[in-house]
Structures are given as C-alpha cells and as structure tokens.
Amino acid sequence: MTKDIWQLERGATLDPIGVVRFSVWAPRVRRMAVRILSPVHTVLMERDRHDVHTATLPGLPPGSRYCYVLDGERERPDPASRFQPEGVHGPSAIVDPCSFPWTDQPWTGLPLVDLIIYELHVGTFTSEGTFTAVIPYLEYLRDEVGVTAIEVMPVAEFPGRRNWGYDGVHLYAPHSAYGGPEGLKTLVNACHEKGLAVVLDVVYNHLGPEGNYLAEYGPYFTDRYETPWGQAVNFDGEDSQEVRRYVVDNALYWITEYHLDALRLDAIHGIFDASPKHILQELGEAVHAQASALGRRVLVIAESDLNDTQVITDLAAGGWGLDAQWSDDFHHSLHTLLTGERSGYYQDFGRLADLGTAIKDGFVYQGQYSQFRRRRHGTPSRHLPGKRFVVCSQNHDQVGNRAHGERLSTLAPFPALKLAAGLVLSAPNIPLLFMGEEYGETAPFLYFTSHTDPALAQAVREGRQREFARFAWGREVPDPQELETFQRSVLHHQARAQDSHRALLRFYHEMLALRKQSPTLRNCGKDHLEVMAPAEEPVLILHRWRPREDNLLLVASFAACAVALIPVLPSGRWQKILDAAAARFGGTEEECLPSFLSSAEPSRLEFPPFAFAIYHIDRELS
C-alpha cells in the first residue's frame, strides 16, 4: 500500500505542462487578483466558501514574477512565496520544485544518537555569505572536526541582506542574498553526498515586523497573548485552522522539497495554544508521518526555556512527541563555572552540583525556586534519556545575545576551552558546536540587522539596550544596523592554522573520534552513569560504562589554579587514554595528570588548572 505523500497546495504550484495554480487563503480580502509582471496582466481569482482564492494560468515559466492585488488597491507578495528575489517587499517568483537535479537518493538521514551538530550562520560563516560558499568547508567539518550534521540558522526571507534570520517574514522563501532556493538545495545535496545531515532553524513563534503582510490576508496574529517580539501567532483563536495549516505545511515543505533531516523550532515558549491538540504535537506528528512516507528519518528539536518535559515526552506517554530540545541549564551550569559570571539568568547557576544534575537529569530546575524568575520553575526530567537534550558550551543565543558578542575564547583561558569541549563531547547527550569554537575563533558574533525602516531600526537599538539592563556587561552596545557590526562577526578560518588554534582543533578532532569509537560515549542512556563531586574541591568525576564494553572515567577540574585531593575512584586500575594538557593539544607534560590511577592505591592527586582527562579500565592489570 502506497503511503500518501504531502505536497504544498498554497502559493504558486507549477505542473509539468507549465500551468500554474495560484491559491491563497484570505478571509480579509473581498476581491483578490493575481498580477503577472511580464508581460503585465491581471486575472481575477475565484473565492470559495472557505475564503480560499484560486486562479489557474497557462504558459508561465519558472522565474516569472507575480503578486496579489488585494481589493483592487494593494500589491502584495504571496504569503506562501517560494522565492522573493527582490526582497520582502518585492514580487514573488514562480519556482519549479521538481527541477533540481538531486543526487542524494541513497541518503535516509541519521538517528538522533548519531548527531554531532555544528551550528552556523550562512552570512558570517564565509566572507561570501552564501549557501554554496559553505560547501568547500564540508569535508573539513566532517573529517578535521568530526561533526555529523550542520544546523543552519533561519533562512526565511528577511529585510535587507544582514540579519540573524529571526526577523523572517516569508517562511517558504530561502533568503535571496544567500542564494535562494537553488543555493539551499545545492548545499543540502552536497551535505548528503558528504554524509552530513542538515538541520534547519525555523521560527514559528512570531514573524518579523518589516515586510510582514500576513495580517492583511487573514487573522494570522492575536493580541490574546504577548511575546517578546510582538504579536503572537493565532494558533487557537477564531479562523486559526488555516494558520495552523500554514505553519505545519511549512515544516512539511522544508523536509519534502529541500530534503532536510531535522527542524530546530525556535523559542517554543513564545508559542501559545490552548487547543485540544497543541500545534507542536500536530507539527511533530505530521513531520514524522511525512518522513515515513518519504522513506527517511526526520527529527524535530525544540528550543524552550520552560523546562517542561511534556515537549519531549513520547506521544504514548502523554507528551508532544518531539525528539529533543536544547538544554539551557547545561550551558548555564558550565558557563558560570568557567567564567564566574552571575548576572542575569546566570544568577541561578554557579554550583558544581548544577552541572552534575544537568548531566544526570537534563534539567537543573525541576520545580525548585528560581531566583532569576522569582518563582518555581521546571518539571522532573531524570526519567528521560540523555538523547532528548542537546548540549553545548556556546551557541548563537549565548554568544550573540551578549552585549558585545564575546565567545568563550575571549572569556576563559585556553585550558578552559578544552575542558568545556571535553564535557560537551563526552556527556550522555547530543552535542552541538557553534561555528568557529572548534579552533577558538575570537571574532565576536554580534547582533546585526539591515532594516530599511528608520523607526524600526531605532526601536531595535533601544530594545537591545533594555535587554542588557539585568547584566553587568557595561560599554556601549554595537549598533545592529552598522555594516561594521556584521563584518566583525565573519569567521577568520585562516586562524586555525596558528599554533594554539590548531592545537584546540586537534583536541576537538580526537574527542569526537573517541566519541564515535566508544560504545560508552556514543550511548545516551543514564543507566550506567555515576557523577561524583568531592565536596572540598571543584572537581567533577564521571564514571560511564557499558556492560562487557568500555568502562570510562572522566575527570575535570574547574579550578583556575592547581588543586590537590585524594579522589574516591571506582574499583579497578585506570589507564589514561586522553589528556587535554598533552603537548599535541597545546599543553605541557608537566600539566598532565598521571598515566594510571588505582582504587586499590589511593593517593593524593594534583589537578592542573582546568584539567580534563579520560581514563579507561586497564583490563590486563585490574
């Protein structure tokens, strides 16, 4: 029995003989027409009882520009435009979704536990700032770093040429300055040929203000809820069914027409829905069903600060059934220990026990009082497997939402960078790297925009100043609208050839190689995990093992100076297999931990500053 495969019906659909069917839901428009711009002609559309306006026109080749005319007065882009070659305010362009010569037919995706994610921003990853400019770096990412997936920050058409992507307003149109539909498909196809999965960051909690014409078509937004970014999307009010369809269709569109392997849902705490079935559950079910119909594996990963396990609990157990979510608690626990920062939301963290809890449980806050929020926060998460949590030491939010965009490489000493990487890459979770961290990039990742509306640009400047009021970061915030702000954020790939950068890259490479080779490090279960933190010193010891397979001991010190203690070790003789202080990683032999540790011969052990090492059971001597 053949499974039904979803296809996009809204927007401009081109059939094999060159006939285009236009379809747009617009209950707020009495009379709708489609205007073709070359040669210019306008055709009145038919309206059905569901407020869907349609027209069918022959002889329109791909690339033809068009717009809708609302009530005979306003020319507007298509809400489901596949391409906006002239930007958010310009006409839409017809795209043939079947014309791209895909060569990735053998590719079926990766299981969640095999993901090692590399987050990148297309505009600043290279000096060219395009989809295709990423392609020459894919072998480097796969072979020299060791990642298995790239995560691309939002690409939906946004105003101007410079933006993080969270101000997108044409959710179906890959950004024109990045290379449009052809460029994104070329990148995805190249990734699959290299054995890399592709995750796309999508934004369903709001749309940007500039170029957002959806409200002229229908009740896409509501004032019943408030978000930090403006009006909430109408997922549960009157006439919300087509709004829900618009978002679910968008998710299905990306995985179907662009062969994407996973979607990262931005800030779902800004999505409000009191419907019997939450929109995120509906979306997840639809994506998983479409993936099955396509014979592929597709994942849905949420970003949420709710610490609500319902998001990542299986459907059968009453959850929404999403595959994983970002773990802010892990990041905050690690960051505060490495930097000593305690302002803003970091005030809730800073204890070694927090990091141990994040590793064991997923959430640190599981219902206890949060000083930052001034209320209880979170739900119990110990029962969930580690693969449900994506962990990192840096990401676009935690770097770029600092006033000055500082990376960890400029906030912590070199040994601490290796310690952070060691813990992220050996935790029983899904690791995520932020572009450039693997070699210690020092360029900031600043917040940048290129709005054409002066009032909006000024509102963004003022909003950034208010946002940082609860942090003690000081200094003037760089102007998001200035070209220099964007240019300062472009990566310096050539830096990885320099000594310390090369040594750090080697450490990432060897850590990831070890993770892939080790059944214990690949495993994201919590059944064979013990976290020990000696009370007298800031030292963390992780014992991870797999029965009849490898048995590992990870030791980490968060002290900025040498500390000494007699650690209580699991039974056996332990042989060192990796030490972050080794000469090949930019350290010295004097900084290295002993080659052997033994539970039978407890001894005082001196930990160098920010030490990190991995031991395994020496079976011949144990």
Q: Are residues 554 and 488 in the same domain?
A: no
In this prediction, residue 325 has a pLDDT band, given cuts at 50, 70 and 90, of very high
Q: Is-contact 269 310, C-beta < 8 A? A: no
Q: Are 349 and 334 in contact (CB under 8 A)?
A: no
SS3 410: helix
* Neighbouring-strand partners of residue 24: 53
Tokens 């310690």 identify what position? 419
Q: Are residues 47 and 135 in the same domain?
A: no
Average pLDDT in the chain: 95
Task: Let me know if 266 is a catalytic residue.
Answer: yes
For the stretch 195-206, pLDDT in tens is 999 999 999 999
Taking alpha carbons only, the member of 319, 140, 172 closest to residue 253 is 172
d(CA 169, CA 610): 44
Under DSSP, the state recorded for 408 is G
CATH number at residue 537: 2.60.40.1180
Contact status, residue 121 vs residue 396, Cβ threshold 8 Å: yes
CB atoms within 10 A of CB 555: 24
Residue-wise pLDDT for 283-316, tens only, equals 999 999 999 999 999 999 999 999 999 999 999 9
Question: Which percentage of the chain shows pLDDT scores above 70?
Answer: 97
Task: Give the confidence band of 474 by pLDDT, cuts at 50, 70, 90.
Answer: low
Quickly state the pLDDT bin for 2 (edges 50, 70, 90): very low
Distance CA 562, CA 607 (A): 5
Residue 470: is its pLDDT beyond 70?
A: no
Active-site hit among 242, 257, 261, 266: 266
User: How far is residue 241's CA from residue 220's CA, in Å, rounded to a whole number?
Assistant: 10
Give the domain-ending residue among 513, 542, 567: 513
Angle between helices 414-426 and 328-339 (to 10 degrees): 160
Question: What percentage of the chain reaches a pLDDT higher than 90?
Answer: 88
Same domain? For 170 and 252 the reply is yes
Q: pLDDT, tens digit, for every residue of 564-603?
A: 998 889 999 999 999 999 999 999 988 999 999 999 988 8
* pLDDT tens, residue by residue, 241-262: 999 999 999 999 999 999 999 9
Catalytic one of 303, 329, 397, 591 = 303
Co-location of 408 and 500 in the same domain: yes
Per-residue pLDDT averaged across 45-58, rounded? 97
CA distances from 146 to 196, 409, 525 (A): 10, 20, 22
| The pLDDT of residue 465 is above 70 | no
Tell me the C-alpha distance between 351 and 336, whole Å: 8
Cα atoms in the Cβ-side hemisphere of radius 13 Å centred on 331? 23
Q: What is the CATH number of the domain that holds 504?
A: 3.20.20.80
pLDDT at 39 over 70: yes
Rounded distance, CA 69 to CA 193, Å? 43
Query: Looking at residue 469, what is its pLDDT?
Result: 59
Question: Residue 342 falls within a domain, yes or no?
Answer: yes
- The answer on 531 and 445 residing in a single domain is no
What pLDDT score was predicted for residue 103? Answer: 98
Apex CA 400: angle with CA 398 and CA 403, to 5°? Answer: 100
Whether the predicted pLDDT of 358 surpasses 50: yes
- Domain residue limits at 89: 11-93
Sequence-distant (6+) residues with CB within 8 A of 105 are none
Write out pLDDT tens, residues 139-174.
999 999 999 999 999 999 999 999 999 999 999 999
Q: Do 72 and 42 lie in a common domain?
A: yes
Q: Examine the domain organization and report whether 137 and 203 are in the same domain.
A: yes
Q: How far is CA 325 from CA 116, 356, 367, 390, 567, in A?
A: 14, 19, 18, 6, 34
Question: Which residue among 486, 513, 540 closes a domain?
Answer: 513
Give Cβ neighbours of residue 33 (< 8 Å, ≥ 6 apart).
Answer: 42, 43, 44, 45, 55, 68, 69, 72
Across residues 548-562, what is the average pLDDT? 94
Question: How many domains, the chain?
Answer: 3
Tokens found for residue 245: 């369809």
Instruction: Tell me which DSSP letter residue 175 carries.
Output: -
Strand pairing report for 32-37 and 65-70: antiparallel
Q: What does the pLDDT read at residue 223?
A: 93
Nearest to 353 by CA among 545, 217, 532: 532
Q: How far apart are CA 57 and CA 67, in angstroms?
A: 14
Mean pLDDT, residues 23-33 taken together: 98
Q: What is the pLDDT of residue 1?
A: 35
Same domain? For 184 and 208 the reply is yes
Q: How far apart are CA 466 and CA 470, in angstroms?
A: 8
Which of the listed residues 93, 124, 143 is the one where a domain comes to its end? 93
